Chain A
Amino acid sequence: MSAESAATALLRSQVDLLDFIDWSGVECLNYNSSHPLPNAVKQGYREDDGLNLESDADEQLLIYLPFTQVVKLHSIVVKGPEEEGPKTVKLFSNREHMGFSNVNDFPPSDTAVLSSDNLKGHPVVLKFVKFQNVRSLTIFIEDNQSGSEITKVLKIALFGTTVETTDMKGLKKIEDHQH
C-alpha cells in the first residue's frame, strides 16, 4: 500500500499533459476511421466508455503526439477492454514520423506490458530519467491482450510536468515539496 500511496503522491505533482498536446501535428496510423484517435485522447471523449480508438488492418497502432512545449513524462494511463485492450506498449520520445517499418529499428525509450489492472485505469510509471526532455511522444501498440485482430483503446492519458514554465495548477496540488 505504501508503494501505492507513494505513487499517488508523486502523481499529485504531475499534471495531465493533455493541455500541452499540439493537436495540429497529431497522427495515428492503422486506425479505423470510425474510431479515431480523439476518442481515446481528447477531454470528454476519453471518459466516454462508448467511444474508443480501434485498429484497422491488424492489431497494431502507431500514435504520434507532439507537444507544444518540452515536458517531462512521468506516467501513462491506458484504459481498454479486458480482451482487446493493448498489451505491449512501446514508447519513443522525440522520434518524428515513425512508420511501422522502422519501429523496430531503434530501442524504445520505455516498454510497458499492461496488466488488466492497468487496463482499468491504473497508471504505469515510466522510467522518468528517459523522459526528461520530451518534445513528442510516439506510442506503438504492438499487440493486444487476447491476440485478436482488432485492438481497442478507451483512454490514453499522460502525466508529467512541463520544463519551461511552472504550471500553477500543479503548484497548488503540491503540499510539502516543490519542483
Chain B
Amino acid sequence: MVLEATMICIDNSEWMRNGDYTPSRFQAQAEAVNLICGAKTQLNPENTVGVMTMAGKGVRVLVTPTSDLGKILACMHGLEIGGEMNLAAGIQVSQLALKHRQNKKQQQRIILFAGSPIKHDKKLLEMIGKRLKKNSVALDIVNFGEEDDSKTEKLEALLAAVNNNDSSHIVHVPPGPNALSDVLISTPIFTGDGEGGSGFAAAAAAAAAGGVSGYDFGVDPNLDPELALALRVSMEEERARQEAAAKKAAEETGKQENEGEQQSNSQDTTMTDQVSAPVSEADTKKNDMMDEENALLQQALAMSMDDPGSSQDLRDTDMSDAAADDPELALALQLSVQDSAKDSASQSDMSKLLTDQSFVSSILASLPGVDPNDPSVKDMLASMQNQSEVSSSNFIGVHQTLLVLIEYGVYSV
C-alpha cells in the first residue's frame, strides 16, 4: 500500500504506427496505460497518476498527477502519432512534474514506455539515472517495439543507475500474440513490488481471459460481483441441465421452450408497465436475460436452493417474515422492492413466465422446497386460475406467486 505519485511517459513517435502489437503499438500502449492507472489507484486511493508524451510536437504533460481516472482516460483520446521520442527531456519533465506534486509524502515513480530507438548515448542515460536516484525517484521501463542491441543495453544501464533496492524494474515485451497489457499484468510494474496489486491483477487477468472486449455476461465482476457470480453459476448449471432436458425434450417435443417464447412476445406490454425506472444498467441486464430467461430462471431458482448459507437467504427470511402475515403489506413491500432497477428487471422476467399458470404449477410442483398441499400455495394457485387475462390482475397474481416463492426461500430478491 505504498503511497505513490506516478508519471507515465508515453512514446507517441512515428514508430508507434507499426502493427506488430495488436492492434497497433500505440493502441497497445494506450491500453496498458489505462490498466496501470487503474491498478495504481486501486492499490491506494490516494495514489496519483499523471501522463505525458515524449514525441509528437514535443514533450508535453497531458495530465498532472491526479487520482481522477476519468481525466487520465480522457486525455488519452485524440493523441497524435508523430515525431521522435526525446527520452532525456521526457524524464526531466516528469521529474519536474513529480517534484511539484501536491502531496509531498508520496513516493515518486516514472513509468517509461520505450518503443522507438534511443538516440542518446549510454553516458547521458547513466547520468539521468543517477539524478533520478539522487532525488529518490523510481523508474519502471517497458521496453517494447523497436529492438536493437544498443537500445536494450542502454536501458539496462539506465535501470542500473536508477535502481535503489529493487524499486525500479525493466520489462522487455517482444512482439507477439499476447497483448502488451496482458504481459505487463504479471510484472512488478503492476504488482507493485509484490504487495497489494495482485488483487487487481487477478481481476484484470480474469477479465482479459473472458474476452478482449471484457466480460462474459455484460456485467463487470468488479462492479457487481454477486450478479456476475450468480450469472456464471447459472450458466454452468444450465449446461448440466440442458443435457438432462435434451432427453426430456425428445419426449415432450420442446413444449417448455415454446411456452417461454410465447410469453416473451405476449407479455411485452406487461413488462413495460412494470419496469418503473429504466436504468441503463437494468436494460442491459434485461436484454441479456431475455435471451436465456427460461433457462436462467430455472438455474437461479436451483442455485438459490442449493446455496442455503448465502446472504440471499437472509434477505429472504426478512421479507418472508413481514410478508407471511399480511398480503397487502407484502404487496407494498413487493412494489417498493421493485423500484430498484435490478430487481425490477429480474421480476419482470419472472412475471412473464409466471403468468402462464400451467407453467407455474409445474414449477411449483417440481421444486423440492414447495409443498403443493400447503394452503397458501393452494390459495394462490386457485386465485391464479380464477383471474382474467387483464394485465393488472396478472400483475397482482404474479406478485402473490412471487411472495410464496420468496417465503420458501426459492426465489431470491
Indicate if the CB atoms of B134 and A29 lie closer than 8 Å: yes
Q: Is the CB of A57 within 8 A of B134?
A: yes
Q: Which of A33, A57, A58, A99 interacts with B99 by CB under 8 Å?
A: A99
Q: Shortest beta-carbon distance, B103 to chain A, in Å?
A: 11
* B165 CB–A CB distance under 8 Å: yes
CA distance A100 to B133 in the complex (A): 12
Question: Is A30 part of the contact surface with B, judged by Cβ < 8 Å?
Answer: yes
Would you call B164 an interface residue if the criterion is a C-beta within 8 Å of the partner chain's C-beta atoms?
yes
| B165 partner residues in chain A, CB cutoff 8 A | 33
* A96 nearest CB across to chain B (Å): 8
Q: Which residues of A contact B164 (CB under 8 A)?
A: 33, 56
Q: Determine if B248 is an interface residue (Cβ-Cβ < 8 Å).
A: no
Interface secondary structure of A, over-half rule: loop
Interface assignment of A172: CB less than 8 Å from any CB of chain B: no
B135 touches A29 (CB 8 A): yes
Say yes or no: is A97 at the interface (Cβ < 8 Å to chain B).
Answer: yes
In the assembled complex, B104 has its CB within 8 A of some CB on chain A: yes
8 Å CB interface, B129-188 against A: 130-131, 133-136, 161, 164-165
Complex interface: chain A residues within 8 A of B161 (CB): 57
Q: When the two chains form their complex, are residues B134 and A58 in contact, meaning their CB atoms are under 8 A apart?
A: yes
The CA of A97 and the CA of B100, in the complex, are separated in Å by 10
Number of A residues, CB within 8 Å of B:
12
Assess the A99–B104 pair: CB atoms within 8 A: no
Q: Are the CB atoms of A97 and B104 closer together than 8 Å?
A: yes
The answer on a CB contact under 8 Å between A29 and B130 is: no
Query: A57, A99, A101 — which one has the most chain B CB atoms within 10 A of its CB?
Result: A57
Closest to B96 in A: A101
Most B CB contacts (10 A, CB to CB) among A60, A96, A101 go to A101
Task: Collect the chain B residues with CB atoms within 8 Å of residue A30's CB.
Answer: 133-136
Q: Give the contacts of A51-101 with B (CB-CB under 8 A).
A: 56-58, 60, 96-97, 99-101
Instruction: Kindly provide the distance from the CB of B157 to the nearest chain A CB, expressed in whole angstroms.
Output: 14
Query: Is B135 within 8 A of A99, CB to CB?
Result: yes
Complex Cα distance, B165 from A96, in Å, reads 26
The smallest beta-carbon distance between A144 and chain B, in angstroms, is 15
> Do A58 and B136 touch (CB < 8 A)?
no
Q: Residues of B contacting A100 with CB < 8 Å?
A: 134-135
Taken together as a complex, chains A and B put the C-alpha atoms of A101 and B104 apart, in Å, by 16
* Interchain nearest-CB distance for B123 vs A (Å): 15
User: Interface code B96-128, partner A: CB below 8 Å = 1, 0 otherwise?
Assistant: 000100001000000000000000000000000
| A56→B99 contact, CB < 8 A | no
Cβ-defined contact, B104 with A57, below 8 A? no
Q: Residues of A with Cβ closer than 8 Å to B?
A: 29-30, 33, 56-58, 60, 96-97, 99-101
**Complex A-B: 13 CB contacts under 8 Å:** A29-B134, A29-B135, A29-B136, A33-B164, A56-B164, A57-B133, A57-B161, A58-B130, A60-B134, A96-B104, A97-B104, A99-B99, A100-B135
In the A-B complex, the 9 residue pairs with the closest CB atoms: A30-B134, A57-B134, A57-B130, A57-B133, A97-B104, A33-B165, A99-B135, A29-B136, A99-B99
Interface residues of B (CB under 8 A from A): 99, 104, 130-131, 133-136, 161, 164-165
10 additional contacts (CB under 8 A) given A30-B136, A57-B130: A29-B134, A29-B136, A30-B134, A57-B131, A57-B133, A96-B104, A97-B104, A99-B135, A100-B134, A101-B99
